[in-house]
Every structure is written in structure tokens, then in C-alpha cells.
Amino acid sequence: MNTWLIVRVALVALSLVQGALTNEVIAPLEGVSASLLLAIFAFGVVGMLFVVGIQRVNHRSAAVWRYPSWSICPFLLREPLQFFHFGGFFLIAAGVGGALRMLVLGQSLLLSLLFIPTYGVGILAGVYVCTVVYRSKMERPQQSAPTDVSASPPRS
């Protein structure tokens, strides 16, 4: 198993646990509406286009970026998509942990619990939009050699 897959899964799991155990409120408790959540989502997408766009022209950035993957180190300064891909899942897990805490405590689920995970989903959507918008910066997909099925030995 890949080391970075284990690290990413462990950190996302810790984020879920942290969200479930914390009593600190990091999102507004009142005044959260569906339109605010839509705005938070859009902010995540547009923010990724802006931040990653700056990194696209940064000379210290890698010449070619790899598509986001759970098996790549998320802390590579030269490949910002890896970090934001991880960060999106990290925020989603923290929000899910908070919702689980509310359920365990028998409290009602509020729309405000979606504030943090919605931002995480917006970041993830922004990362994938960046792979399309900045596709000239992305690595080319590996072309596998065509295989001749008829040349394989028959099965008994």
C-alpha cells in the first residue's frame, strides 16, 4: 500500500475525529441559508481558479502538474492541486464529524453544519475545474500500448 495514501487517509480520519470531539463553533450558528451555502461553494471554486492560476505562472511551480491523487504527497509546494485536493477532503471530514457529534448528542442538525463541508466540496470542485482550465499545465495521460487479444494463449 502507498505511504501517502495511508498518510492522507489517517489525516482525514483525524479531521473527522476532531470535528466530532470539538465543542468550538467555527461556522455561524444562525443565518445560514441555501443561498449562502451556494455562495460558499462558488467561492471555493472561484478561489481555486484564482490561487492555482497564480501558481500556474509562478516560476517555482513544477513545469507539469500531476492530476490529484491520494497516492501523491499533498504537501508538495510545486504542485498546488495536490494540497487543495487533500484540503477539500479534510474540510468535508471535519464537517461530517461535527454532524456526527450533533447526532450522538441528540441535537437537531442545523443547516449551518453544512458550512464547512460545502466549502470543502467547493474546493474539490475548483480543483477539478482547474485541471480543465489549466490542462496545458497538467501531465499527459499515460498511453498504454495496444494489446492484441487474439495473441493471448487460450484458457483451459
DSSP 8-state secondary structure symbol assigned to residue 155: P
How many domains does the chain divide into? 1
Question: Residue 135: what pLDDT?
Answer: 93
For 48-57, what is each residue's pLDDT tens digit? 999 999 999 9
pLDDT digits (tens, 9 = 90+) for 95-110: 999 888 888 888 777 7
Indicate if the alpha-carbon torsion angle 107, 112, 114, 116 is positive or negative. negative
Residue 53 lies in a domain: yes
What domain range is 56 assigned to?
A: 37-139
Question: Is 117 among the domain residues?
Answer: yes
pLDDT < 50 stretches in the chain: none
Is residue 80 included in any domain, yes or no? yes
In a domain, residue 8? The reply is no
Q: Which residue has 474546493 as its cell numbers? A: 123
Residue 19 lies in a domain: no
Residue 88 forms part of a structural domain: yes
Q: What is the pLDDT of residue 114?
A: 85
Question: Do 66 and 139 contact (CB within 8 A), yes or no?
Answer: yes
Burial of 128 (C-beta count, 10 Å sphere; 0-12/13-18/19+): middle
Confidence at residue 89, expressed as pLDDT on a 0 to 100 scale: 97
Q: Is residue 113 part of a domain?
A: yes
Alpha carbon of 129 to those of 53, 75, 107, 124, 126: distances in Å?
11, 20, 36, 9, 5
Predicted confidence at residue 99, as pLDDT, reads: 86
Does 32 fall in a domain?
no
